[in-house]
Amino acid sequence: MAMLASMTHPLSRHITELKRRLLIIGATIMAAFALAFTYSSSLIEWFKRPFADDLIFYGPAEALFASIKISFLAGIILSFPVILNQCWKLIRPALLQQEQRWAMPLFLLASGFFVLGLGFCNLIILPLVIDFFVTFGMERALTPELAVGTYVDFNVRFLLAFGFAFELPLALTLLARIGVVTTAWLVRYRKHAALVALILSALITPDATLFTLLLMAVPLMVLYEIGIVGTKLFGRNEKE
C-alpha cells in the first residue's frame, strides 16, 4: 500500500500541474481572442486584400462566426509565447541538464517556422489562389460575390496547412538526430515523398484543383529537400 501511494502521489501531482498549465494557456488564448475580436473588422479587411470587391454574408450570423474564427486564429498566434513558456515549464523537470539547453531553442525554432509558413501563405500563396479562382469565373462572364464565411474558412485552412507544413524540415532533422531516419533513407524515398506530398495536398487544400494542389505540393517538396539538408548537417553520424 505504501508503495502504491508513493507511485500515485507523483502522478496526481503531475496531473494537477498539467491542469494548471492548461488553464493558464486556455485563459491566455481567451484573453487574446477577446482582444483580437475587437479588431476583427481590421483582420477581415487584411484577409480580403487579394479580393478587390466587398465581401457579403447570406445568413444572419455568418459575419459573426467569420469574425469569431479569424479572431480565434489571431488569439492562438498572439498566445504563442505563453503557450511555449507553459509547455517548457511542464516538461523541464523531466529533462536532463544537457537536454534543457536545446529544448527552448527548439520551441522557438518551431514557432518561427510556423509563423514563417503563415506569412508565406498570406503574402504569396493566398493572393495567387484567390486571383486564379476569381479570374477564372470572371472570364466566363460570372460576377464574383464571395461570402465572408466561406472566404474566411478558405483562408484559415490554407494558413494552418502551410503553418504546419513549414515544420517539416525541423521534424525531419529531429528524427534524424534521434536516429529514426537517415539522410540516405530520405534520399532513397524522395519519389515516394513527392507522391505523399501530392496526396496530402489533395486532402488538405480546400478546393483540390490541380492549381491549388501544386501550390501546396511544390512547397512541401522543397521543404522536404530542406529537411534532407538539415539531416546532413545535424543528424546523428555513425560515430555517435
To the question of pTM greater than 0.85 for the whole model, the response is no
Cβ burial, residue 38 (10 Å; 0-12/13-18/19+): exposed
Each of the 240 residues of the chain gets a pLDDT tens digit; together they read 444 444 456 677 778 888 898 999 999 999 999 999 999 989 888 888 878 788 888 888 899 999 999 999 899 888 888 888 888 777 777 667 776 677 778 878 888 898 899 899 988 988 888 888 888 888 888 888 888 988 988 888 888 889 889 989 988 988 887 778 888 999 999 999 999 988 888 887 766 677 888 888 899 999 999 999 988 887 766 555
The string over 134-157, giving b where at least 16 C-beta atoms fall within 10 Å of a residue's C-beta and e elsewhere, is beeeeeeeeeeebbbbebbbbbbe
* DSSP character string of 90-116: HHGGGS-HHHHHHHHHHHHHHHHHHHH
Main-chain dihedrals φ then ψ at residue 177, nearest 5 degrees: -65, -35
Residue at grid coordinates 493566398: 126
Sequence ranges of the domains in the chain = 12-166, 167-240
